Amino acid sequence: MSAKKVSKGPTAERIAHIGDQFAINGEFLYGEELRNGHINTTYRACYRTDDGREERYILQRINDYVFKDPALVMKNVEKVTRHITWKILRCRRDAAGQTLTLYPARGGRSYINLPEEGGMWRCYNNIEGTHTYDVVENTRQAYQAGFAFGSFQELISDMNPDDIRESIPDFHNTPKRYEALLASVQADPMGRVKHCAAELELLREWAPQLNKLVDLQQKGKLPTRITHNDTKINNVMLDEETDCAVCVIDLDTVMPGLVLYDFGDMVRTATCIAEEDEEDLSKVSLQMPFFESLAEGYLDAAHSFLTKEEIDLLAFSGWLITTEIGIRFLTDYIDGDKYFRVERPEHNLIRARNQFALAKSILSNLPRMEKHIRKLVKSYRNRK
């Protein structure tokens, strides 16, 4: 995560002004913008405490185009971080530091509305001695990513899903995502549909499988749980020295949902060595060793609370969520790049093509993936 430190100038003044709204003690030294996310504006600010130490904090604006009710988002984040902190401190005293901590704004709330700075802001602790990866580099990192999100799900598995509200309705509802795409194709507001005929034809072939998980959930065969809903590899903080998982971050999309979408998004982001905007599609494919390690890490942490139906669909979920994310990129491209941050022409179309190439690779490897899951489950049974 690279960023340029600034101690003077308009950017530094802005960061210092935002930081002043929170209960941060010390003298502002410098700030930097972190640009590895698609959605929120994020700064890291460094302060010198009265005893001479330097401490850093994360200042983040919630994107109110994506999250229509930022206060609801913050209520969800507060409940989840509080629950995890309680579990760690009371039940797992050897596992400190596994969650984000919200710093209060002056006045006591965990957030503050700053219209002059674009809306609602919050402040987190900066988790020192850690880093993130946009692309998994080895099987150890894949295992740690799986273990981190499996542990996160296990920690909140005893929370009532009714206590958490949907911040983005139907966020992981693949059939509705496909319906939204078809509506955008019909409207074609930017005249871009002519550039994605091949992608639309592929989705028509895959359409019958897009409602599989939602249908099973509606029939009561898959339980609704509290889920992260954005389990990219770069949402896991890893120790700089050991590459061991330290903390799961980016909790804005924590909502009631299916754990399968969480695992599927891990498959999407942790089993391919190419970045999600790689244009050379020959580089875009599932790496089975990474999948095997990812699945092992996840099930090591989560197998105790998963149902048989959930386990049986873990491999399939990788294909489904990869296809869904491709649909979302394609929809945003057709709509004029309103949701995801873009850095070059056709960026979202490039991302969509990338995701569909990965989905094809996952589909071709599905039998091997399912076999590996069965092998892991059998090993857990033999340990009992």
Q: Give the model confidence (pLDDT) of 41-85 as tens digits.
A: 899 999 999 889 999 999 999 988 888 899 999 999 999 998 988
Rounded CA gap, 344 and 377, in Å?
A: 44
- For residue 42, the number of C-alpha atoms closer than 13 Å in the C-beta half-sphere is 18
Reported as a single tens digit per residue, the pLDDT across 309-331 is: 999 999 999 999 999 999 999 99
Reported as a single tens digit per residue, the pLDDT across 16-38 is: 999 999 999 899 999 999 876 55
Q: What is the DSSP string of 35-82?
A: ---SSSEEEEEEEE-TTS-EEEEEEEE--TTT-S-HHHHHHHHHHHHH
pLDDT band (50, 70, 90) for residue 91: low
Is a pLDDT exceeding 80 seen at residue 116?
A: yes
Rounded CA gap, 188 and 181, in Å?
A: 10
pLDDT at 209: 97
Kindly provide the b/e burial profile for residues 172-187, where b requires at least 16 CB atoms within 10 angstroms of the residue's own CB: bbbbebbebbeebbee
Higher pLDDT, residue 124 or 40: 124
Rounded CA gap, 175 and 170, in Å?
A: 10
Rounded CA gap, 56 and 72, in Å?
A: 26
The pair of three-digit structure tokens given for residue 308, joined into one six-digit string:
């048989």
List the end-to-end C-alpha distance of the chain, in Å, as a whole number: 42
pLDDT at 6: 78
Is a pLDDT exceeding 70 seen at residue 98?
A: no
Query: What is the chain's mean pLDDT, rounded?
Result: 91
CA distances 39 to 22, 34, 35, 292, 339, Å, are 22, 12, 9, 30, 8
Rounded CA gap, 301 and 263, in Å?
A: 12
- Return the bridge partners of 247, or none: 237
Rounded CA gap, 307 and 280, in Å?
A: 39
pLDDT at 96: 40
* Mean pLDDT across 205-225: 97
Cβ(258)–Cβ(290) below 8 Å: no
Cβ(136)–Cβ(273) below 8 Å: yes
The reported pTM is 0.86
The percent of residues above 70 in pLDDT, for the chain, comes to 95
Kindly provide the b/e burial profile for residues 26-65, where b requires at least 16 CB atoms within 10 angstroms of the residue's own CB: bebbbbbebeebebbbbbbbbbeeeeeeebbbbbbbbbee
pLDDT at 38: 57
Is a pLDDT exceeding 50 seen at residue 162?
A: yes
pLDDT band (50, 70, 90) for residue 2: low
Rounded CA gap, 124 and 136, in Å?
A: 25
The CA-based angle 172-258-161, given to 5 degrees, is 105
Give the residue carrying structure tokens 């509290």: 226
The percent of residues above 90 in pLDDT, for the chain, comes to 70
